[in-house]
Chain A
Amino acid sequence: AQSVAQPEDQVNVAEGNPLTVKCTYSVSGNPYLFWYVQYPNRGLQFLLKYITGDNLVKGSYGFEAEFNKSQTSFHLKKPSALVSDSALYFCAVRDMGRGGNKLTFGTGTQLKVEL
């Protein structure tokens, strides 16, 4: 079965500093990987995805993520954090090796960016 792990419940970072939100996955076939952001009482907003090609994926709002097949990781990064980046971040995977129809989400990481 496919699964996603986000080992950190919360990440705190000072504004202007780089941020990393960790994600590892497990699938039997090729993974399609996604990052979503959720603000309070709102739905999920798509940030970026990895399907194939370049391991470094650039997305919305200056975020990027690096696909690492050997480590089965897809960490989300941003060079300089903003207070407005404070939100709940979800990593998700679809296992295309099983004709994947479902997205499996991690448990979410609360990012808090402070002045």
Chain B
Amino acid sequence: GAVVSQHPSRVICKSGTSVKIECRSLDFQATTMFWYRQFPKKSLMLMATSNEGSKATYEQGVEKDKFLINHASLTLSTLTVTSAHPEDSSFYICSARSSGGANEQFFGPGTRLTVL
């Protein structure tokens, strides 16, 4: 199947700093990318959907000024957690899907964010 990479895999930062997470589709063009947040032993919570070249669509309750998403190319999306707080600590997973049809989403390996 198609490969989606995320970088970094783990990041520890101080409260108040910003952290950028990259998501790349390595062998296909992802017209749509998704960002999820997963709490321990919980399901994935969709944060936002981004289409290449346009603004992301955020789910209800997700602060778009705090979680900045950029989908600048067909193979790269970034999530920036601004002014991070300890409650932002979580496992963030991106997913990518090519255009149209019923194509399954391919998921990145996730990024473990710890905010001290």
**A110 CA to B41 CA in the complex, in Å?**
9
Task: Tell me whether A102 is interfacial, beta carbon within 8 Å.
Answer: yes
Task: Tell me whether B32 is interfacial, beta carbon within 8 Å.
Answer: yes
Of B42-50, B68-76, B77-85, which binds chain A? B42-50
Q: How far is the CB of B92 from chain A (nearest CB, A)?
A: 10
- Give the number of chain B interface residues (Cβ < 8 Å): 23
Residues of chain B contacted by A51 (CB below 8 angstroms): 102
Instruction: Identify which of A32, A49, A101, A108 contacts B49 (C-beta below 8 A).
Output: A101
- Give the number of chain A interface residues (Cβ < 8 Å): 23
Q: How far is the CB of A115 from chain B (nearest CB, A)?
A: 24
Task: Tell me whether B112 is interfacial, beta carbon within 8 Å.
Answer: yes
Residues of chain A contacted by B110 (CB below 8 angstroms): 41-43
**A45 CA to B3 CA in the complex, in Å?**
10
Residues of chain B contacted by A46 (CB below 8 angstroms): 1, 104-107
Contact residues of B between 21 and 61, Cβ < 8 Å to A: 32, 34, 41-44, 46, 49
Contact B109 A42 (CB under 8 A): yes
Question: When each residue 34-47 of chain A gets 1 if its CB lies under 8 Å from chain B and 0 otherwise, what string results?
Answer: 10100001111110
Residues of A near any B CB (own CB < 8 A): 32, 34, 36, 41-46, 49, 51, 88, 90, 94, 96, 101-103, 105-108, 110
